[in-house]
Amino acid sequence: MRRLQSLFIGILGIIVLLAFVIMHLESSDTTDDKGTLIIYNWGDYIDPDLLSKFEKESGLKIIYETFDSNEAMFTKIKQGGTPCDIAVPSEYMISKMQKQSLLYKLDHSRLAGLDNISKFFFKHSSDRLNIYSIPYFWGTLGIVYNDQMIKGKPPLHWRDLWDLKYKNNIMLIDGARDVLGFGLKSLGYSINSKDKEQLQQVADKLEKMTPNVKAIVADEIKMYMAQNEAAVAVTYSGEATEIIEHNRHLHYVIPSEGSNYWFDDIVIPKAAKNIKGAYQFINFILRPENAAQNAEYIGYATPNEKALQFLPKNVREDPKVYPDEKVLNTLEVYQDLGAKWLEIYNNLYLEFKMYRN
């Protein structure tokens, strides 16, 4: 009997020990390679000098991988094809990732500098309490035009893009939400419409615009517009800021009927291997001087309020980058539409691209 009791106690002790080990492993900040930090981000979306600075300060080696759309990023992280410690999705994708339990819940006690972020972004973010994400950059969608290539009045409204004088002279950023979004705004609808009749109206209207569309491109839009390849483009504020620096005849406008303003946030995917390093990187980016350096390099607006003092006056007072409250009140953030409606948007956009070809 005593042997049985001893055996039972021994087994119980082993079970308790195993449970402790498992709990320790699950709460551990690092697994696998402790010397690296894998960042999954948009292309050319951080100052390389900051990456070098962080490597020197932290002793970690950064592996920097890129994606060209939120959907591509989501698919790879969900399928486990791209293990990473830091990712930078847009606001509507954060909501989707959170619903599918792909994000690590942030411990605010380990964050230094969260109070540097403007309260405006807490109010408008889908993750208002910053449980899963930290604001990284924000910007708007608008129209760039070349004053030397346009006769008469420049395009100040979305409806102007259908003017026949722009035949084969407009470049569009490649994105279903962006293209259908300005189409919806041109008709006075929300960029988050879930009305099939409204969406069909937009599809029909976009079909009529195809003679004006010279190309649908991604990052190349900066080079093409800087080199006078088209008179007009629909693109993001940061892209516009960069190309205007290379061509003084270019101008950026946010149509008064409204547009999209977006946030890209830093998150830690649940499959991250270096949680400690991820927190180090987030705190590094939250430092005002680093946020300012990054914003000046990228050309987008920083949500870091305390970083503004480190930016040149002509940058922090540039309405292209930091629009006033009146303009901001006309803008909408993309919402997570859900799988059903996202498929509808994507199919209508694909039809638009196929019709153009």
CATH number at residue 275: 3.40.190.10
Within the chain, residue ranges assigned H as helices are 2-27, 48-58, 70-79, 91-99, 119-124, 176-186, 196-209, 220-226, 237-246, 275-286, 288-298, 313-316, 325-328, 339-356
Over residues 123-159, the pLDDT tens digits come to 666 777 889 999 999 999 999 999 999 999 999 999 9
Whether 214 and 338 map to the same domain: the answer is: yes
Within-domain flag for 206: yes
pTM, two decimal places: 0.82
3-state DSSP assignment of residue 56? helix
Over residues 161-183, the pLDDT tens digits come to 999 999 999 999 999 999 999 99
pLDDT bracket for residue 234 (50, 70, 90)? very high
Within-domain flag for 20: no
Within-domain flag for 30: no
Tokens (6 digits) for 107: 């411990």
pLDDT bracket for residue 314 (50, 70, 90)? very high
Task: Supply the pLDDT for residue 27.
Answer: 42
| Helix-helix angle 196-209:339-356, to 10 degrees | 20
Instruction: Give mean pLDDT, residues 56-83.
Output: 92
Whether 118 and 78 map to the same domain: the answer is: yes
Within-domain flag for 29: no
How far apart CA 320 and CA 342 sit, in angstroms, is 29
User: What is the secondary structure of 141-209 as a DSSP string?
Assistant: EEEEEETTS--SS---SGGGGG-GGGTT-EEEES-HHHHHHHHHHHTT--TT---HHHHHHHHHHHHHH
Tokens (6 digits) for 185: 């705004």
